[in-house]
A and B are shown apart, each in its own frame.
Chain A
């Protein structure tokens, strides 16, 4: 009898517990929602974050790898000749996809199809092109159409797209984004670059289009000319006020509010300016030298500056390491160093080359000279972003230009002059510098004892976890080696 009683009690209780357990799951959704995050983004807070994080910690790929390749930095202790495997060459790839591209793809997705948010959407699309271009230029074929879609579409192993198709899409993206801006709709808030100014954004979009167009001049001259003309006729940057500059905060910590540009000289005593850069500035009496170069003891006298020969083993460094020049901590090598992503000066130098080659309708050799002069002039003026002490007088700029007239008589010389100026102007933006050097071949780099890379290798992890993607890229563009050339670099 008591057996039956006990079993009845147990069964009854089990039923009660079942009901209780089920009904007590009502607050599970709130329990499983983090109090530290929200499901819906606030676009005006995401935009400044994206603008600040467009630049990776400049130390890794930019300085240690590209800065050394480009004869601007030299360190005997960093692995220079073995660019094949390592975290530094793959850093840019990993960072761009994991941070700005992820946020940009989402930003564009969040603003898609909503007329009221069209200005945010257009800014997102332009910045997305900017971010993708810096990756494809370095690595070649990359995931583009299905990239950073892990959450939206669940694509965890995106396919690698040919660079030719990526470029084709980037041109139309820039054009459509620029066309879509609508002054009657909400302007972007907290835009730390252009303060929501649509005109500025359009100028940036077309200036970027010009950069893209010039890049493909050899491999696809028809489209190169087409898009260069579209860009020119649609309105480019008109002055240094139009530059795409991101200012970082002094005395800050980590990537969102600092850029890592100071790292080699503040942290490592073996990093020095490379001899080719210092020698170039000295031999040309370049008035920028005191902004670019200083001895560790604070001496900025141009004649005293000394660059470390690239790729020098430690035991062959002739002088004590403290004898060599570094970037000044008050200008380029500071925590708050502003970063110029794209400048009026670059636009003028590009136009100079395009005019020289007769690609822009209606522009010729004479225009090339004035563009060149404007470009050099702007390159010197833009350094005033480091403060009043670094404003170069118009007189010394004029003197410099006077002594460095563009030699339009010899095309190669002129191209060398233009692109060498580009090389000096893009200091610390080695992503752009390396690409422009590969395209133009100028300046001639003074590297010995190793083959100068034409691209960077894919992250090792991609070979491991996205093997099919890498295999498709290898099939399309060639072996995953630093000697393989990307599509536009033929």
Chain B
């Protein structure tokens, strides 16, 4: 018998199944407002079943049915419509009015809500059955009891202010009472797990040092090709600077100031546990310029980043050993862990960015090219000098570089005419999945950039694969990354002849850059701007000179962990970072400054770094009631091998064939640099209630140091305490104090211990030539350097966690620093490597986060960062008072390390002045320059501040970041040259009638010597050589990032194949709100090396506006 009803469950109940099955019987009805009798009559005809019903049922009206289905479905509908009950008995169907539903006995649930750690009851917690929207609060004993729940599967949601919310699946069965105790974790005590040194996961709440993390969204919403740019203003104490070396050029980042006097001061980058070599291939030097070939950090795909953790201090990074003395930046890439079991997710992201060159220059537009106040009248004169010491721009004809007469008028649009809008298109796709045992993520991304300089471009493809598997006691994690970087025509910057940026900035006022097109004459030779071809015609540079480079990089890691017992595990890791770099550039025949026929350079570099690591440890064990311990010991072998091969040659034999084989003279050279560090280390974590103690120790053996002094042990200890809530006033939500002290050591570069002799790659009439290979004095007595840091801080949270504050003070001292210092060339060497130097960095870092509003419709968060670092060079060793880090091309500015001063002093010359401060003029009326070097302040920022605001309103989000840096100076070679070339507005006085400088002569009488317009260039040459005139305060406030996003609401996405769809409009470097540097962006350091504070002509600053689309399938 089958009974069909319209009761709650509405299920089909089968008592007997005969050959004739109502679920297999097809029926078709099309009735409007019929009575039931008519319905049943038709059904009897079609189905062969017979219906039994009484008069009342037969007369029931208003049946409307249009169905073509099986009988059981149709009867179910009828049952629902008319509240009937059908009972099948063989081919008979009895129809009755449905009785009242049979009540199913309900179930109930009860339990206690407890604090996770202490098992204390939590009164007032909210308990809800989500599906029924029924709930209550726990009582004073933390107990709850919910009755009268219909049987079924539900979600029990337990929440409490400042605790984590738990969602527990429950099944209520009829008549039974379920008992469920729920333990809530305090969200201030929330185990926020971060990846720290050696890829070990730690609970951030019990670290005795500062660890700060960023979510992947913080760096990939507003994408830039180099990850360093995306870090600007986002973590306190991290100075990410925007050197203007082009999109694919190297960038500089330092953490807590400068650690090493002359060594690398940039942090170690670790991606998924793999240390990445981020050393620039070559750095364009401040004085000679050249090409910046990038630093390899462009090989990190922002879309792959799940989180970034910055280990700032020694204590945090000590387990990384020697390379951590400058801090560590850990990147964890996304995995498939967040994908539900047996599901696959596809994420798509596409970003288009427009880069606009910004013109900050405000030159004089009153006087044009020429000499002695006269415009050029012949081509030879025009070619003789590109400086603007000519006549008043009066629109009359004036001869230019190509012999053509053009109106003598100002050309103000040269920058706009030459640069184009740069464009970057980034597309990324990833596939993530989870089988339960293994989760994986495969991603591919493609970046396509065209630079603001014509014909300059950069492409990058990244493929990555990671998988994390857990088979009972065995855990296997594997990561492989492949990056292909291709750059074309990276431009020369700084003081190079062929720096197009220099040329554009320094064109004669009346020369239109477009007249230099196409860069060549009809004979194919360079169309020169000057007779010596310096600077090179910019169109010749972009069209005829060539550079291209390719970097192929593989990072891989394999991590295997085996848990032998519940008290012992072992982990082994093999990490590899390998890249192969090929670069070729040539200068074709026809360039004016190299009439011999151009030349070609070809460089190849392979770099391999391996780490083999083995760890044995014990997970957290209880020693006593509240005393817990965990520990591990391990060892690591670090090995690097760099091999280089360079061929340089000139001139070309056949025209138009730009290969090494076509060079008539070749100069090859090769290099081979290997180093190894063996290490052992140990780590112990002890906790007593909320008091945590971490002890670390590491010993390194360096291959690069003498055998008798190649090792050092360095310890670290940190302590933290989470103050129990009962000791805190009500408005304080949580409080933690922490402190640590730790040491980190460091080695040297290879082959710096003894003098050696090298053979010249070329022979002389069959005779090999040998000479001393060192230009740096080797030292047989090198010892490891030592950096000791202590750090104290507190993490506070107020007003129910709406306001939080992290405050840290640190003091770091670097001693017996391994310094490569410029020494007197009369020693035979230009540098020496010495264990000298002591430097201290003391500073504070603070992060304030305020949640202004938080509701389902509107959220507003403000984050403010501030840090201050005081650097002091305490000692540079015996008899050394200063070291030189760099110098300007103009030769009048140096970056020095001076004992007793902050790192990186800009030094140079000032006017010769008398005791009253008046400028002294020579007999020719030209100001005298004091040849004593003076210090004008450090080129390193000491105060960093930023303010970010994040708003979420419904489906929109708006983020903006104000970034500012203070306390650094910068010497502007650009402004100095603009004075020397008569381009600066400072050179306007005296153009018509000459000028008399304000000051005194050598005898002390007022200067009254008139400098005539014909001699004005010499007057201003002297002004230009005074370094002090061009040292500016480099402080700034910038609107660094703006992002406006819209995420398609859930109810709309369900109609699309996407589970998530987000569209963002992003902007970067949109505005400078405050600066003190005329004609330039204060963030225009030429190089990313330690010589900060020198600006030469570099790539123009750009404003970046982009559109980004992210989707998940």
Residue from A10, A18, A154 with most neighbouring chain B CB atoms (10 Å) = A10
Residues of A near B774 (CB, < 8 A) are 151
Inter-subunit contact A320/B770 (CB<8 Å): no
Q: Is A2 an interface residue (CB 8 A)?
A: yes
Interface segment, one of A58-66, A237-245, A263-271, A355-363: A263-271
Inter-subunit contact A462/B891 (CB<8 Å): no
A45 to B767, CA, bound (A): 7
A77 to B535, CA, bound (A): 13
Residues of A near B496 (CB, < 8 A) are none
Inter-subunit contact A28/B707 (CB<8 Å): yes
A115 to B538, CA, bound (A): 62
Q: Is B768 an interface residue (CB 8 A)?
A: yes
Q: Is B454 an interface residue (CB 8 A)?
A: no
Inter-subunit contact A9/B371 (CB<8 Å): no
Q: Which residue of B lies closest to A155 (CB)?
A: B827
Inter-subunit contact A21/B680 (CB<8 Å): yes
Q: Which of B773, B896, B933 lies in contact with A37, CB distance below 8 A?
A: B773
Inter-subunit contact A267/B596 (CB<8 Å): yes
Inter-subunit contact A253/B884 (CB<8 Å): no
Q: Which residue of A lies closest to B570 (CB)?
A: A13
Contacts A77-B384, A269-B531 given: A45-B829 contact, CB under 8 Å?
no
A86 to B495, CA, bound (A): 14
Q: Is B701 an interface residue (CB 8 A)?
A: yes
Q: Is A445 an interface residue (CB 8 A)?
A: no
Interface segment, one of A102-110, A275-283, A299-307: A102-110
Q: Which of B530, B710, B757, B778 lies in contact with A40, CB distance below 8 A?
A: B757
Inter-subunit contact A190/B827 (CB<8 Å): no
Residues of B near A99 (CB, < 8 A) are 771
Inter-subunit contact A52/B757 (CB<8 Å): no
Q: Which of A17, A18, A85, A267 lies in contact with B891, CB distance below 8 A?
A: A85
| A354 → chain B closest CB, angstroms | 33
Interface segment, one of A90-98, A171-179, A404-412, A423-431: A90-98
A354 to B389, CA, bound (A): 52
Residues of A near B881 (CB, < 8 A) are 467
Q: Is A183 an interface residue (CB 8 A)?
A: no
Inter-subunit contact B825/A462 (CB<8 Å): yes
Q: Is B634 an interface residue (CB 8 A)?
A: yes
Q: Is B953 an interface residue (CB 8 A)?
A: no
Q: Is B146 an interface residue (CB 8 A)?
A: no
Q: Which residue of A lies closest to B617 (CB)?
A: A10
Inter-subunit contact B629/A25 (CB<8 Å): no
Cβ contacts B828-839/A at 8 Å (1 or 0 each): 111010000000
Inter-subunit contact B769/A156 (CB<8 Å): no
Interface size on B, residues (CB 8 A): 111
Residues of A near B637 (CB, < 8 A) are 24
Inter-subunit contact A148/B828 (CB<8 Å): yes
Inter-subunit contact A31/B675 (CB<8 Å): yes
A103 to B589, CA, bound (A): 36
Q: Is B751 an interface residue (CB 8 A)?
A: yes
Cβ contacts A151-177/B at 8 Å (1 or 0 each): 100111110000000000000000000
Q: Which of A32, A106, A253, A321 lies in contact with B531, CB distance below 8 A?
A: A321
Q: How many A-B residue pairs have CB under 8 A?
A: 288
Q: Which residue of A lies closest to B701 (CB)?
A: A25
| B304 → chain A closest CB, angstroms | 34
Inter-subunit contact B664/A28 (CB<8 Å): no
A94 to B671, CA, bound (A): 25
Q: Which residue of B lies closest to A269 (CB)?
A: B531
Residues of B near A87 (CB, < 8 A) are 891
Residues of B near A147 (CB, < 8 A) are 826-828
Inter-subunit contact A39/B754 (CB<8 Å): yes
Residues of A near B777 (CB, < 8 A) are 150-151, 154, 156
Inter-subunit contact B633/A10 (CB<8 Å): yes
Q: Which residue of A lies closest to B826 (CB)?
A: A143
Contacts A31-B675, A77-B531, A315-B376 given: A151-B618 contact, CB under 8 Å?
no
A25 to B702, CA, bound (A): 8
Residue from A24, A32, A98, A269 with most neighbouring chain B CB atoms (10 Å) = A32
Interface segment, one of B25-33, B758-766, B789-797, B1084-1092: B758-766
Q: Which residue of B lies closest to A94 (CB)?
A: B825
Q: Is A385 an interface residue (CB 8 A)?
A: no
Cβ contacts A315-328/B at 8 Å (1 or 0 each): 10100110000000
Residues of A near B385 (CB, < 8 A) are 77, 314
Inter-subunit contact A101/B530 (CB<8 Å): no
Cβ contacts B563-599/A at 8 Å (1 or 0 each): 0011110000000000000000000000011111000
Contacts A34-B756, A151-B774, A249-B764 given: A6-B567 contact, CB under 8 Å?
yes
Q: Which of B629, B671, B704, B829 lies in contact with A151, CB distance below 8 A?
A: B829
Cβ contacts A236-266/B at 8 Å (1 or 0 each): 0000000000000101111011000000001
Q: Which residue of B lies closest to A469 (CB)?
A: B824
Inter-subunit contact A251/B374 (CB<8 Å): no
Residues of B near A143 (CB, < 8 A) are 824, 826-827
Q: Is B621 an interface residue (CB 8 A)?
A: yes
Inter-subunit contact A31/B372 (CB<8 Å): no
* A residues 37-78 in Cβ contact with B at 8 Å: 37-42, 45-46, 48-50, 52-53, 76-77
Inter-subunit contact A256/B381 (CB<8 Å): no
Q: Is A114 an interface residue (CB 8 A)?
A: no
Q: Is A123 an interface residue (CB 8 A)?
A: no
A85 to B532, CA, bound (A): 21
A56 to B595, CA, bound (A): 22
Q: Is B755 an interface residue (CB 8 A)?
A: yes
A94 to B826, CA, bound (A): 7
| A126 → chain B closest CB, angstroms | 18
Inter-subunit contact B678/A21 (CB<8 Å): yes
Residues of A near B711 (CB, < 8 A) are 25
Q: Is B690 an interface residue (CB 8 A)?
A: no
Q: Which residue of B lies closest to A19 (CB)?
A: B680
A257 to B762, CA, bound (A): 8
Residue from B377, B618, B757 with most neighbouring chain A CB atoms (10 Å) = B757
Inter-subunit contact A3/B567 (CB<8 Å): yes
Q: Which residue of A lies closest to B667 (CB)?
A: A253
Q: Is B337 an interface residue (CB 8 A)?
A: no
| A25 → chain B closest CB, angstroms | 5
A38 to B768, CA, bound (A): 14
Contacts A25-B707, A45-B759 given: A268-B532 contact, CB under 8 Å?
yes
* B residues 730-784 in Cβ contact with A at 8 Å: 750-751, 753-760, 762, 764-765, 767-775, 777-778
Q: Which of A28, A34, A256, A317 lies in contact with B769, CB distance below 8 A?
A: A256
| B705 → chain A closest CB, angstroms | 8
Cβ contacts B612-634/A at 8 Å (1 or 0 each): 00101110010100000101111
Q: Which of B594, B650, B751, B827 lies in contact with A156, CB distance below 8 A?
A: B827
Residues of B near A490 (CB, < 8 A) are none
Q: Is B83 an interface residue (CB 8 A)?
A: no
Q: Which of A2, A106, A157, A270 lies in contact with B621, CB distance below 8 A?
A: A2
A7 to B618, CA, bound (A): 8
Residue from A22, A85, A151 with most neighbouring chain B CB atoms (10 Å) = A151
Q: Which of A17, A49, A97, A256 lies in contact with B825, CB distance below 8 A?
A: A97
Contacts A46-B771, A151-B778 given: A314-B384 contact, CB under 8 Å?
yes
Residues of B near A466 (CB, < 8 A) are 824, 826
Q: Which of A3, A32, A45, A105 lies in contact with B828, CB distance below 8 A?
A: A105
Cβ contacts B628-652/A at 8 Å (1 or 0 each): 0101111101000000000011100
| A273 → chain B closest CB, angstroms | 17
Given contacts A77-B532, A93-B825, A106-B755, 16 further A-B contacts (CB under 8 A): A3-B629, A5-B567, A38-B757, A39-B754, A50-B771, A93-B826, A157-B827, A256-B764, A257-B764, A266-B595, A266-B596, A268-B593, A270-B384, A313-B384, A317-B380, A464-B894
Q: List 18 A-B contacts (CB under 8 A).
A: A2-B621, A7-B618, A14-B682, A17-B614, A39-B757, A46-B771, A85-B892, A93-B825, A98-B775, A102-B829, A151-B755, A151-B778, A192-B764, A249-B765, A257-B764, A267-B593, A465-B884, A466-B824
Q: Which 5 residue pairs across A and B have the least CB separation, nearest first?
A: A314-B384, A148-B828, A102-B828, A150-B827, A37-B756
